[in-house]
Amino acid sequence: MKGIKGMSKRFGLLAKGTKALLLLVVLQAQVCRGWSTSGTAGCMAMKMNVDQYREHIENQKDISVPDEKNRNGFYATVKHNEPEKVKIILERFVEDKKSGFLHKNADFINAPDPKSGNTPLTEAIQQGNKKICDIFIEFKSAVNLNKEDKDGTRPILTACQKRGAPNKYIASRLIEQPETNLTCTDPKSGNNILHFAVANKWTEIARKLIYKLDPKELFNKNNNGETFLHTLACVNDLELFTKLLPQLIKLSGVDEVIKQFFSTTKDGKTVWSSIYLSAFIHKKGTQPIWSDKNTKIFRYVIKTVKNGLKLEDWNHILKDIKNHEGTTWVGWFKGDIGKQYADTLIQIVTEERK
């Protein structure tokens, strides 16, 4: 953007043509520099109407050049929730690329902001901004749907980490895109997107992911040694089990699923024990009291896979229950279960084993 200096010499040309709006743009930029903590880019994104902003972008030689705070206009329009202005820049960017124009900052559309560390797409996701995310997907030839933020987190993970309808919508839209790389894990927890989808009880998204994820990575463990099945057990939701378990058996086979149910976490919990200890796992320091919900899930899983269970599997399940049976309150507070609860679980095993 050109400064005020020399404006008097050019004013006559502007007045004669159709560029009178440029004066307003320049003056507004000068005002922005004087007071805005967001920098010129942020101030102009907020203060200009759509027509003014379009004229401003048309008059820029290189739209990738950042302002005095090193923030580019594209990120600013996303941060300040200006979808029409986001689209204006993307349209100009596409035109520039077609014409062969080389931007000074070639990856400014995808680059993390120097202050927040978010990419423009990550920023939109964190805001739950469905409209801007849809625009990004519309312009996915220009927007990198897999660009990591400063913490190494990809957009799809950011979408799945937070519950709520906006993030569920955004996650679903990203998963639909063939360009989205679904093979990624959270740098902090080690959770993959299936862990998050199950924890959020996003049934349909979880069903899609079971088919879309690489079978070799389907049962990857997080930093606590938990597969998504451990997460599913801890969610304590029978309906979610009924939607996912048959699909999983169809895809991976009952033998593989049974094998994964005996997979242990770092503290030695199988998926079986995670089902009946789920209340304790979610609220540590309380006794995992006998629960109809837990026992119904336990019976459903046993009934669903029992034709594939071998003698040693049945014995392992019973041994697991006995190992978690505590005889004192001290044991209960450590995560063990009372005798009545254990007897109920053993009865289920005995009945289904016949």
Q: What is the DSSP string of 55-74?
A: HHHHT-S-TT---TTS--HH
Integer CA distances (angstroms), 62 to 70, 95, 112, 115, in order: 15, 12, 19, 22
Separation of alpha carbons 9 and 18, rounded Å: 17
Report whether 291 contacts 283 (CB < 8 A).
Answer: no
- pLDDT for the residue 349: 97
Report whether 120 contacts 110 (CB < 8 A).
Answer: yes
- Tokens representing residue 137 in the block: 């997907």
pLDDT, mean of each 10-residue run, the chain (354 residues): 41 42 48 61 92 96 93 95 98 97 96 95 97 98 96 95 95 97 93 97 96 92 97 92 96 97 94 81 46 88 97 97 71 64 93 92
Give the angle subtended at the CA of 251 by the CAs of 250 and 256, to the nearest 5°: 90
Integer CA distances (angstroms), 81 to 76, 129, 137, 272, in order: 9, 8, 16, 46
- pLDDT for the residue 20: 42
Q: Can you say whether the dihedral through the CA atoms of 163, 169, 170, 176 is positive or negative?
A: positive
Alpha carbon 235 to its chain centroid, in Å, reads 18
- pLDDT for the residue 338: 79
Report whether 119 contacts 155 (CB < 8 A).
Answer: yes
Q: Where are the alpha helices (DSSP H) in 39-116?
A: 39-47, 50-58, 73-79, 83-99
- Tokens representing residue 221 in the block: 């463990």
CATH architecture observed for domain 119-223:
Alpha Horseshoe (1.25)
Give, rounded to a whole angstrom, the gap between the first and last alpha carbons of the chain: 81
Report whether 180 contacts 146 (CB < 8 A).
Answer: yes
- pLDDT for the residue 340: 83
DSSP type of residue 112: P
Total-model pTM: 0.85
Separation of alpha carbons 126 and 129, rounded Å: 8
Integer CA distances (angstroms), 115 to 69, 70, 119, 295, in order: 9, 9, 11, 50
Separation of alpha carbons 280 and 284, rounded Å: 5
Separation of alpha carbons 181 and 15, rounded Å: 52
φ, ψ of residue 33 in degrees (nearest 5): -65, -25
- pLDDT for the residue 324: 86
Residue listed under structure tokens 């008097």: 8
- pLDDT for the residue 5: 42
